[in-house]
Structure 1
Amino acid sequence: MDYYSSPWKIPSLNLANGSNRQQRSERREACLSTLWAILKFTDLVTLKVGVPTPEGGFMNLTVRYLARQTGLQQRRVERALADLQRAGLVGVHARCELRADGSYKGLAAIKNVSKLFFAIFGLQFRLGFERKRAAKRLKKKRGEQARISTTRTATARRNLTAKAALDRAGSTVQQLGLGKKNQRRQNDERSRALNEEQQRQLNELMFQFKLAHPDWTAEQCREAAEKAIEARWP
């Protein structure tokens, strides 16, 4: 912030316009605002300007987005960004992708903060220390995200297995006629067969619910299995 009143504190930026004259106050203001927005979105691990994604990627920011952060016109931010680049404080690397028709589509340029910026304020050694700490935090965060993803996948797999067992039980129960609570038993032999099949399916469902919910008691698993059968085949 001292640069606004004392532009010679950062000589390379003060001379970025190619003139020996002091940089104009409006231009200094634009450079400071743009630099403030850039630092706000600087990833300390890579020193790139943007937002890391949960998948391990990185989303680069457009000049238009940075301009909205500063409240300045996009053209002023573009000129300020060019000054910061000529001063060696910020790097800008254009990107594009090839379209199916052979033309090229412009993408958000890769922007990064130079280590020179931190060296100007005597923070080059502190920067290395903080980047190591940031890398450890990022590694820990990604590990937690991976564990959460694994847990969700395992839960979904268990639920799918339980659903398959429920469907198999429903098919068998319906075939045996257990879908009707008040259906009369034709004979004792059929009654015993139905009861045995019902118990077998009930046990299977209880087992699947226990896999999906390890903290449930046997009574809770039985109650859930009975309700599942009653709800599906009243």
Structure 2
Amino acid sequence: MNAPIRAVILDLDDTLFDDSACTHAGLRAVAHAHSLSVDPADLFARHAAHIRAIDPLLFSGQLSAHGARVRRFAGLLTELGAAHPDGEAATLTYRAAYRKHWQLLPGAPEVLRDLRAAGLRLAVLTNYVREVQGQKLAHFGLDALVDAVLCVEDVPAAKPDSRAYHAACAALNVTPAQAVMVGDSWQKDVQGALAAGLRAVWVSRAGLPAQDAGVPVVSRLVDLPAALGLVPA
């Protein structure tokens, strides 16, 4: 029999915070500023590839968050054949639009309050830097609704390494068997958590079925308490 759930660990981007929508808004602004005609999905994918390539420099402290943005937009604009691939100007354009469109996914604060009211300890576990993620959490007051926030600098290794989840469990003073990881990434939030001895709930906004029939799936955060068995489904 499973141990009773004592803690819920949540991803941030595209689990509580609508990072995809904000990113699309920022990229639209950059494309417009540089008169680029590019498919939004292709632009999003190219941008994500530049993030993956540069993140190791950011995480190792060789670049600041701003410096990482400047480098990735200089590379992205060069790749797209922009006439003036100014990474600094593109970063300012992107960040202004990204910040303007900051939004939580529906129900995020309410669900956190409901989980706390049920007596559960809560943490946010994110694979990005505190300089950025801390601003988001504070802006919406989510930092006051959780017991711990672990960013990439706070763990021995990022998700899906087992040490990331174990660090979050330690911060909440629970065992892995007593914790549930909730997130939108099948690899980082579900597979990694299961391998580390936690349970998991997959946030699939597209409504896709889980690759493992034993993993609960929610397309809306408001359905999370029921998926955890806290209220009738």
Normalising TM by the smaller chain, what interval? under 0.3
Query: Higher helix proportion, which one?
Result: 1
Output the TM-score relative to the length of structure 1: 0.24
Q: Decide which structure has the larger Cα Rg and report it.
A: 1
Output the TM-score relative to the length of structure 2: 0.24
Higher relative contact order (CA 8 A, sep 6+): 2
